[in-house]
A and B are shown apart, each in its own frame.
Chain A
Amino acid sequence: MKPIFTKSKNNNQKLEGKNRLRAISNEKIFIFSGQTYQIRTDLIATESKGVVFKSSEIVRNLNPFVILNHNSKELLNRLQGLQLQPLKVAENFHTGRLGVVTGTIVITLVPSTNIENFVKDSKWEIGSLAPQIHTVFLKVITQEDPLLQVKEIKKDLRVKSAELEIIENLAKVQ
């Protein structure tokens, strides 16, 4: 019988998770130069039964996706029919947790700013607009550090806030 609640195990899990997070967070280099991969765990289950990823290959479990690092690449290449999608992960500084970098910078403008003028003046690539909440979604510049891009954007006095979007979890149907 599997226990419903196991206090000691639960604590151990948290420690493991915390240590792992710290270890990954220290690897700042992987954020933008390391290649990671996203794979749906249900595809692993249904199409590649028996495949077990080593802990060293898993960056983060973002149910229903699992983020795998470059160590898994060779293994992944041998799997047929899996939907692989290269993506990057980074630490969400608000929560201290890792998440997926979507390639979007969320910019909130000061309310008095004319969003059309901001877009017209912008040297950045516009993803989409949400004028009703004074928000512009910019695309990060490929091959450049987006955090530097964010820093640059924040110099604009019309910008109230600018943040690199990092998605920690995917919402799922209930």
Chain B
Amino acid sequence: MTHFRFKLLCKNIFWLILFFSLPTCSSKNSDEQSSAFTTTVTGVTSSTTNGSYSTGQVISIEISFSEIIVLVGTPQLTLTTGCSDAIVNYSSGSGTKILTFLYTVRAGDGNFDLDYSSTSALSLNGGTIIDNEGNAASLTLPTIGAAGSLSGSKAIIISTPKTLASGTPAATGLQDRIWTFTPTLLTSGITFTAINKPSWATLNSSTGTLSGNPDAIDTLSNISICATKASTTETIGSFSVVITGDPIKSEAWHLKNTGQTSFAAAGGTSGEDLNLAGTISEGTTGLGIKIAVSDNGTQIAHEDLTDRIISGASKNYTLASPWIGDPTPSFTDPSNAHGTAVAGIIGATGWNGKGSRGVAPESSLAGFLFIGSDQSTDKFVDQANGDFDIFNYSYGYSQCQSKPINASLETQLRFGTTTLRGGKGALYVKAAGNDYLGSLSDCNGSGSSNYLGNSNMDGQNAIYQTVVVGALTATGNRTSYSSPGSNLWVSAPGGQFGTTSPAIISTDAIGCSEGLSRTTNTANTFESGTSSLNSNCNYTSTMNGTSSAAPNTSGAIALILQTQPLLTWRDVKYILAKTAKKVDANAGNTSHPGGGANSLTDHTYQQGWIQNTAGIFFHNWYGFGGVNVDAAVAMAKTYDLTLLGTLNETLNNDGTWKFSSGTIALAIPDNIATGVSSSINVTDNLKIEAVEIELSVTHNFITELGVELTSPSGTKSILLNINSYIKGANFTALHLNTNAFLDEMANGNWTLKVIDGYLADTGTLTHWKIKINGH
């Protein structure tokens, strides 16, 4: 409204300006005046009826201006009509607001939605187009495909008889998904070329196949595939492709790491990601795979999650049994957005023009509000049961002391891996823990010093039925917090904190007053909602932790299961292990972070990458390495379903462990690396999938103790590091798991070594036993 009045005023003074020849008006405010006086194109359309037109037919195209214009000469309009543009002369309209151009369809022309060649397709051709004040009109046309353009307002198809090749390319495509078109050949000996070929596409000059993987949201116009044979060149028809996607996916380094900063100060390392581009581009998206997200609740109405939620399957364990209900927590506490972020990492909806994208963006999700309940056993059991393929557990206990697994939960996990998924077994994916350097003050006591967590201390992590996942940075290394342990299976992106180094992009509680991203969050502009990419604060760039690594793995498993639904839970674990990427490849032995008196002479505190005698690499920081989706999916496609056979555990008939030391009393030498050793001869010859031990030790300060296990073939796994500063006295049937012996043979002498790493207190190894899981 303001602009309109200003324009009238300017028109009235226009002649005054000319009369008095006031130079200041034309020079000082030239930009403003130009804008105010310029007559512009308001739209392009056609009075010709929508439809398909062929050789010789005439199509009328009208260009509307904002003011009456006067035309001198023969301006021209260039239309995209295939391999050669059609240049159409002005026909009529001078003295009105509408100029008309008449286009007669030529032999060989083609366009699936007729439009001009560019926004500058209207040319004067030596003439003039001025308004009634003598000002040259702007000739800029509306953006191709947009409202007001020819294709935006009409649907006119140019289709002339083809003699070489034909076909109709898809007008839409998806970010990161292969778009392809192959014409039908009507004869042989054709050579194909392309005009306005998308940068992401390649053309096969023999078959005419135009194919590629669009990596961004985009609209690509006036593409033409031209077929030539001898002196004849035809088009299959000019076309446009609209690519839909997810606007902040480009910042999701865990999906595709290009070194982007993901709103942190510095970026990561290109290629250090889940390596899933090939899988996604093929259209594998987790469709049909059901995943339970047991966490501190999930905002199931979130715009990027709601389409993924299985109706009636979510649970709220603060309600009465059977706990079916909305799992959306109160978000007054920002940390309650955790489960919403976890769900988004797994399965945020893809290609909906919102947020980022989950690893398995077409998987089906249920949210469980479990953390926040009283975590009673009945709830623990229930949240591990049901019609789900994968259970994601981004929670755990403080690892400052051993926490045996809840016996009923262990029974449930055994049930789940033998019975769910039609007997193929559900996958239980668990965060390794964030206790690389835990604070004792946060762990059942006072004090200001730290402890070195071990993922095995959390009993749910120490059984073979769980897939334990460590966290990687955007540079492909261990995160500052990820708990180590011989029980780790794989690692996956977890990120740092999103300020100096990238964290994980995911869904967040809706709005700028709740959740992680909120007006008061100063971590970065994305988190505070000041970035246009997150003005609604529905997404976060600061999600991290092994809590993020676990759902990245759950999503990856969903892609594997969609590829081969007949895989058992053990098959999936094996595929993850065999295809894992050896991240931080040069990681060698490390010494105790506390140094000094915490170290022993001739003792390796933590091993770097080891290679077991079956040739498999393992590291207590990373398990078998980083999840490698494309490699895992490729292995799944050709996987021999009989490879692992039946799971065999070295158990007696009554379920007790077969191989035990019996009661022993071996003194543990104080503060010396030689420690005390005890061997058990395993007579079952299994190919190892995992090894579990239980040991009992009397010692006033278990913090001092290190535990190592050496296989019959000589591979050493460190199950517990010395001077961990974990709490308590004595180990009583402490359960530890190690995956370091995968694919080795089990029979022979297994040697357990217990080391006391600190001066003064001594202890005794009183009992230990070993169980092999294998086939």
Contact = CB atoms under 8 A, between A and B. Distances in A.
Interface of A: 2-7, 9-11, 13-14, 16-18, 42, 60-63, 94-95, 100, 102, 104, 106, 108, 127-128, 130, 132-133, 135, 137, 165, 167-174
B168 interface: no
Contact of A10 (B322, B376, B449): B449
A104 B322 CA distance: 16
Interface string B295-320: 11000000000000000000000000
A161 to B, nearest CB: 8
Contact of B727 (A7, A13, A100, A165): A13
Given A4-B450, A9-B448, A104-B377, 6 more contacts: A17-B727, A61-B445, A128-B321, A171-B375, A174-B394, A174-B550
Given A167-B376, A171-B375, A133 B448 contact: no
Contact of A173 (B321, B394, B450, B701): B394
A171 B593 contact: no
Nearest to B294: A171
A132 B394 contact: no
A167 to B, nearest CB: 6
B657 interface: no
Contact of B593 (A4, A127, A132): A4
B411 A133 contact: yes
Contacts of A94: 404
Contacts of B403: 168-169
B286 interface: no
Contacts of A104: 376-378
Nearest to B430: A174
Contacts of B547: 173-174
Contact of A130 (B408, B443, B546, B729): B408
A122 B445 CA distance: 41
B444 A133 contact: no
Contact of B597 (A7, A42, A61, A169): A7
A133 B703 contact: no
B331 interface: no
B725 interface: yes
B654 to A, nearest CB: 13
B412 interface: yes
B400 to A, nearest CB: 10
A5 B547 CA distance: 26
B385 A17 contact: no
Contacts of B440: 10, 13
Interface string B544-582: 011100100000000000000000000000000000000
A4 B436 CA distance: 12
12 contacts: A2-B448, A4-B449, A13-B445, A61-B444, A106-B408, A108-B408, A135-B411, A137-B377, A168-B403, A172-B396, A172-B397, A174-B395
Given A13-B445, A168-B403, A173 B376 contact: no
A5 B404 contact: no
B322 A171 contact: no
- Sort A-B residue pairs by CB-CB distance and give the 6 closest, nearest first: A5-B594, A174-B431, A174-B547, A137-B378, A128-B321, A6-B449
A174 B545 contact: yes
A172 B373 CA distance: 11
B586 interface: no
A127 B725 CA distance: 40
B419 interface: yes
Contacts of A100: 374
Contact of A165 (B377, B434, B546): B377
B381 A135 contact: yes
Interface centre among B404, B447, B545 (most CB of A within 10 A): B447
Contacts of B415: 132-133
Nearest to B382: A130
B661 interface: no
Contacts of A61: 444-445
B252 interface: no
A11 B701 contact: yes
B433 to A, nearest CB: 6
Interface in B431-457: 431, 433-434, 437, 440, 442-451
B398 A95 contact: no
Given A102-B376, A172-B371, A7 B450 contact: no
A32 B331 CA distance: 35
B535 interface: no
Contacts of B448: 2-3, 6, 9
B758 interface: yes
A130 B335 contact: no
B398 A63 contact: yes
B729 A18 contact: yes
A93 to B, nearest CB: 11
Nearest to B460: A171
Contacts of B725: 5, 10
Contacts of B431: 174
Given A165-B376, A173-B395, A17 B339 contact: no
Interface centre among B377, B412, B725, B727 (most CB of A within 10 A): B377
Contacts of A62: 444
A103 to B, nearest CB: 9
Contacts of A132: 385, 412, 415, 419
Given A127-B321, A174-B395, A17 B433 contact: no
Nearest to A6: B449
B598 interface: yes
B728 interface: yes
Contact of B395 (A7, A63, A172): A172
Nearest to B593: A4
B338 interface: yes
B395 A14 contact: no
A40 to B, nearest CB: 10
Interface string B705-727: 00000000000000000010101
Interface in B157-182: none
B381 A171 contact: no
Contacts of A137: 376-378
B415 to A, nearest CB: 5
Nearest to B546: A174
B444 A167 contact: no
A127 B379 CA distance: 11
Contacts of A10: 440, 447, 449, 451, 703, 725
Interface in B321-355: 321-322, 333, 335, 338-339
Interface centre among A17, A62, A173 (most CB of B within 10 A): A173
Contact of A171 (B395, B419, B451, B594): B395
A14 B446 contact: no
Contacts of B546: 174
A13 B729 CA distance: 12
A18 B700 CA distance: 10
A172 B434 CA distance: 11
Nearest to B544: A174
A171 B440 CA distance: 16
B377 A106 contact: yes
A133 B593 contact: no
A67 to B, nearest CB: 11
Contacts of A128: 321-322, 378, 382
A63 B376 CA distance: 16
B443 A63 contact: yes
Interface centre among A10, A63, A104, A174 (most CB of B within 10 A): A174
